[in-house]
Amino acid sequence: MSRPPESPGSDCTASGRKLRYTLDPGMGDVSRTCVQIESDLVAAGVPPENAVRMALICAEALNNIVEHAHADREGGWIRVAVRTDTPCQITFRDNGAPITDGILPQGRPAMPGQSTQSLPEGGFGWLLIRSLSSDLDYSHEDGENTLRVTLR
């Protein structure tokens, strides 16, 4: 198992073609982790346009985990494993609350001509995750959530 030369903030280790990260459920860690992931992916040879899309998926999924799974809880952890070969796959694991009814939200786009004041300011996260992925797999078992996203 080799460690990249610098991994500030996030705890990142690399083994084979998987990059692994551990973070605390704080917003500061999410942003920093996503920057690290994008940079590590490019360093691993993933095309930049794919690396940034994977970083976007990470930002959306991690923000959701922090806001919903870990809201008002202590002792939470989040782990991210990123597969760098094809197809690129990201697996998120956390020990927070399960998704309601185990159903992943769809997300909804804006409607052309929609009035300014009626535009939603949130809820686009799952739409983005779904649009950028070809497969989503979610399970909750033994107190842990696992979400696996395959890049489209």
Q: Which residues bind another protein (CB under 8 A)?
A: 27-28, 30-31, 34-35, 38, 49, 52-53, 55-56, 59-60, 63, 109-114, 116-117, 119-125, 127-128, 131-132
CA 2 to chain centre: 23
Confirm if 126 and 106 have CB atoms less than 8 A apart: yes
43 vs 140 by CB, closer to another protein? 43
Q: How far is the CB of 152 from another protein (least distance, A)?
A: 11
Q: How far is the CB of 108 from another protein (least distance, A)?
A: 9
Q: How far is the CB of 83 from another protein (least distance, A)?
A: 20
Q: From the DSSP assignment, how many helices (H) and strands (E) are in the chain?
A: 3, 6
Kindly report the backbone phi and psi dihedral angles of residue 146, in degrees, each rounded to the nearest multiple of 5, phi listed first.
Answer: -130, 125
Distance CA 117, CA 121 (A): 10
Q: How far is the CB of 126 from another protein (least distance, A)?
A: 9
131 vs 139 by CB, closer to another protein? 131
CA 15 to chain centre: 19
35 vs 140 by CB, closer to another protein? 35
Confirm if 146 and 92 have CB atoms less than 8 A apart: yes
